[in-house]
Amino acid sequence: MKTRITELLGIEHPIFLSGMSWISTPEMVAAVSNAGGLGILATGVLDEKQTRAAIKKIRELTDKPFGANVSLLFPGAAQNALVCLEEKIPFINFSLGKGDWIVQMANEYGGKVFATVTNSRHAKRAQDYGCHGVIATGNEAAAHGEPPTTFCLVPSMADEVDIPIVAAGGVGDGRGLAAAMALGADGVAMGTRLMTTIESPLHENFKKLSIEKDVYDTLYSKKFDGLWCRILDTPAARKSVKRGLFPWGYLAAIPNSKFIADMLKLPYWKLFIGVLASGWSNAKQLAYMANAFKKIKVATEEGDTECGVLPVGQVTGLLHDIPTVQEVIERTVREAEQLIDGRLADMT
């Protein structure tokens, strides 16, 4: 299946792996890239040394194009972006910040940069400072889509920008891929679907839960990680959303931020002072994320359904099996091509 995305990035299929912490590991990235899509490494929970080692590992596992994402709001993200640029990886996806400097540096070696956006204004801004494309994240997605749904966001954005658009949120099979392309997207990003595969490092407890749940079985709130986020509906998730930060969440954020500092190999005092100096609004946001990160890690790695919380998209309700990555991508493309050549063609 050829689109502007496949031509631009040199991939076989217009399908991205969403960069998910503790899920989008080197092995997962390579599995998606080897299957013809674009694997994207999640660097948010890695320090500079780990990011460089992960890139090296990916290159040992695949000779196909791959990428990495950086969430610029996170501590250490700018340093990880510099590692990606130094390693001259083919593709970088940034979010939650301005990445014009990433675009400029990537252009020097021919790298491609996409911004994750949730509205046309941000998409146009990304286009203006040279981004090669955008990932449009809609309400159906795990994180961090805003109220407009993917299937309204994409066509509205396609009317405003000329660069390629990747639809994220609500895509779990060929119907979603065909629909996204019909509405103006050039490709799709799949998180929840690819997270629930044989190769995925997600704990089996949550893989099983993901295919048992319905499209109604997610919670959408700003009280989990401080941004609009969708999580699997479980007792632990309901408790997190109900409590938010007040009052005990602020206290929990102290040891949980220590956990993040240790994970990123940052001196805790330096992280703590930096957060306080960044202003109350940013400090509050990072407190939310400190608590959320701990719960996501517990869910992903330990499979703890009592304390862990897992971000998932509404598409979890469309999942009924745990196939290989290769099977997911081949099946998705085959279904989309059949729809485009059949049902959609008959409508013209």
pLDDT (tens digit, 9 = 90+) per residue, 174-193? 999 999 999 999 999 999 99
Instruction: Kindly report, residue by residue over 285-344, the tens digit of the pLDDT.
Output: 666 777 788 899 999 999 999 999 999 999 999 999 999 999 999 999 999 999 988 765
| Residues 213, 233 contacting (CB under 8 angstroms) | yes
Domain with CATH 3.20.20.70 in the chain: 4-202+321-346
Supply the pLDDT for residue 269: 46
Please tell me the distance from the alpha carbon of residue 99 to that of residue 82, in angstroms, as a whole number: 12
Q: Do the beta carbons of residue 74 and residue 101 sit within 8 Å?
A: no
Average pLDDT on 67-93 reads 94
Mean pLDDT of the chain: 90
Residues 72, 73, 76, 80, Cα dihedral to 10°: -20
pLDDT, tens digit (0-9, with 9 covering 90-100), for 108-128: 999 999 999 999 999 999 999
Of 191, 202, 275, nearest to 22 (Cα)?
Answer: 202
Chain segment 185-242, per-residue pLDDT in tens: 999 999 999 999 999 999 999 999 999 999 999 999 998 988 899 999 999 999 988 8
Average pLDDT (272-284) is: 58
Q: What pLDDT does 264 receive?
A: 61
d(CA 46, CA 77): 9
pLDDT of residue 329: 98
Find how far residue 171's CA is from the centre of its chain.
Answer: 13
pLDDT digits (tens, 9 = 90+) for 83-106: 999 999 999 999 989 999 999 999
pTM above threshold 0.85: yes
Whether cis (ω within 30° of 0) applies to the bond prior to 235 is no
CATH number of 4-202+321-346: 3.20.20.70
> What are 230's strand-pairing partners?
220
